[in-house]
Amino acid sequence: MSRNDAIQAILNFAIGMERVLKGILYDLNPTYVLVSPEFRHSLRVLYGERIVDGDDNRTVLAKRPEADVITFRNSLLRAAAVSESAQKNKNRLFGLSNLRDVLAHHDLALFDVEKAAVLLKRDFYLITLDFADELKISRREWFGTFEQSVIGVARNHQQDIKNTLRVKLEEHRRNWEATKQDEEAVRRRAAVTDERLESEHRYETACPACNQRAVLFAEPDYVIDTDSSEKLVAGEFVRLIHCEFCGLNINDDLELDELGYGKSFHPEFSDDDIPF
């Protein structure tokens, strides 16, 4: 895959998946895709043809309604609360959004072609297949005449992730077994863990290898409150799990999803998010 092919394919994949995620939310409630779901904005944006002219409209409806829709990441956070496919593939889709953001907003030299190729060749078919099955979309409609060739690409680039993880976890479990008798080393590692947990968006969790205290490194996504212009955390994505005690370090999106860390972080909605 050439660099230009990878760039174009990632853009197509990202645009398509963002529309799928927004479609899931829109079918549930159209206001869930709006940055400003309040009545004064959403009525004009979504149901403008239903508005009856009247003098009181100026008090209940915005003169210039906010029609912007939420971002890819915010769509993913919200969809993961109602879609098993979004939840299952959350970290890989977050990785896809990061690649798209590089193409849209940064120097192309920062585009990770190798990561893009893995996402496209190894994961594209399985991710889209999950959504096709969940949404009851026919394979023909989803993949057209290309399903067989896409299957071939995916098959040739699969890894047995369960076995890969099993070996990795076993290796680090043995590292811990070899170290745990060294009380001074254990104290040092505990101190480093405590220090890391003092930072924002880092959380303690049980290490999947040695069952000691590990650190989840999360990356927040934000929304802007349209009334106050305040930046609020909409939710978080797990980017890394690190255990100082056994040395485990996992930042691969597929491995994080396989270990269930996409399920660890749901957006927490307040009453202010309810548009009625």
Do residues 170 and 268 share a domain? yes
Answer for the pair 99, 111: CB distance below 8 angstroms, yes or no.
yes
Q: How many CB atoms lie within 10 A of CB 176?
A: 20
Give the mean model confidence (pLDDT) for residues 229-238: 83
pLDDT at 159: 77
Do residues 179 and 146 share a domain? no
More confident residue, 154 or 186: 186
For residue 41, being part of any structural domain is answered with: no
Q: What gap in Å lies between CA 117 and CA 47, rounded to an integer?
A: 42
Answer for the pair 39, 276: CB distance below 8 angstroms, yes or no.
yes
More confident residue, 226 or 97: 97
pLDDT at 127: 93
Do residues 77 and 116 share a domain? yes
Do residues 147 and 17 share a domain? yes
More confident residue, 223 or 186: 186
Give the mean model confidence (pLDDT) for residues 210-221: 93
Structure tokens at 51: 């508005």
pLDDT at 62: 81
Global pTM reads: 0.71
Residue 24's domain spans which residues? 3-34+69-156
For residue 48, being part of any structural domain is answered with: no
pLDDT at 265: 53
User: Above 70 in pLDDT, residue 274?
Assistant: no
Do residues 169 and 133 share a domain? no
Do residues 185 and 103 share a domain? no
pLDDT at 187: 96
Give the mean model confidence (pLDDT) for residues 174-183: 91
User: Above 50 in pLDDT, residue 276?
Assistant: no
Do residues 77 and 20 share a domain? yes
For residue 42, being part of any structural domain is answered with: no
Do residues 25 and 116 share a domain? yes
Q: What gap in Å lies between CA 35 and CA 61, rounded to an integer?
A: 16
Do residues 169 and 266 share a domain? yes
* Residue 213: pLDDT band with limits 50, 70, 90: very high
Residues with Cβ within 8 Å of residue 94, at least 6 apart in sequence: 73, 76, 219, 237, 253
Q: Where are the alpha helices (DSSP H) in the chain?
A: 3-28, 39-47, 57-60, 72-79, 84-88, 90-105, 113-118, 124-134, 139-143, 147-156, 161-179, 183-197, 253-258
> Smallest Cα–Cα separation from 275: which of 30, 24, 50?
30
Q: What gap in Å lies between CA 135 and CA 16, rounded to an integer?
A: 14
* Residue 188: pLDDT band with limits 50, 70, 90: very high
pLDDT at 263: 61
Task: Please report, rounded to a whole number, the percentage of residues in the chain having pLDDT higher than 70.
Answer: 93
For residue 51, being part of any structural domain is answered with: no
Do residues 119 and 224 share a domain? no
Per this entry, what is the length of the chain? 276
Give the mean model confidence (pLDDT) for residues 258-262: 83
For residue 49, being part of any structural domain is answered with: no
Q: What gap in Å lies between CA 56 and CA 41, rounded to an integer?
A: 15
Burial 57-79 (b: 16+ CB within 10 A, else e): eeeebbeebbeeebbbbbbbbbb
**Average model confidence (pLDDT) across the chain:** 87
Do residues 171 and 152 share a domain? no
What is the number of domains present in the chain? 2
pLDDT at 268: 43
Answer for the pair 238, 265: CB distance below 8 angstroms, yes or no.
yes
Q: What gap in Å lies between CA 108 and CA 251, rounded to an integer?
A: 22
Domain boundary (123, 156, 189) is at: 156
User: In terms of C-beta distances under 8 Å and separation of at least 24 residues, what long-range contacts does 267-270 make, across chains too?
Assistant: 267/77, 267/78, 267/80, 267/81, 267/234, 267/235, 268/235, 269/81
For residue 244, being part of any structural domain is answered with: yes
Domain boundary (156, 185, 200) is at: 156
pLDDT digits (tens, 9 = 90+) for 121-144: 989 998 998 999 999 998 888 888
User: Above 60 in pLDDT, residue 151?
Assistant: yes
Do residues 126 and 202 share a domain? no
For residue 46, being part of any structural domain is answered with: no
pLDDT digits (tens, 9 = 90+) for 49-89: 888 887 667 778 888 888 889 999 999 999 999 999 999 99
Domain boundary (156, 189, 212) is at: 156
For residue 126, being part of any structural domain is answered with: yes
* Residue 185: pLDDT band with limits 50, 70, 90: very high
pLDDT digits (tens, 9 = 90+) for 12-23: 999 999 999 999
User: Above 60 in pLDDT, residue 169?
Assistant: yes
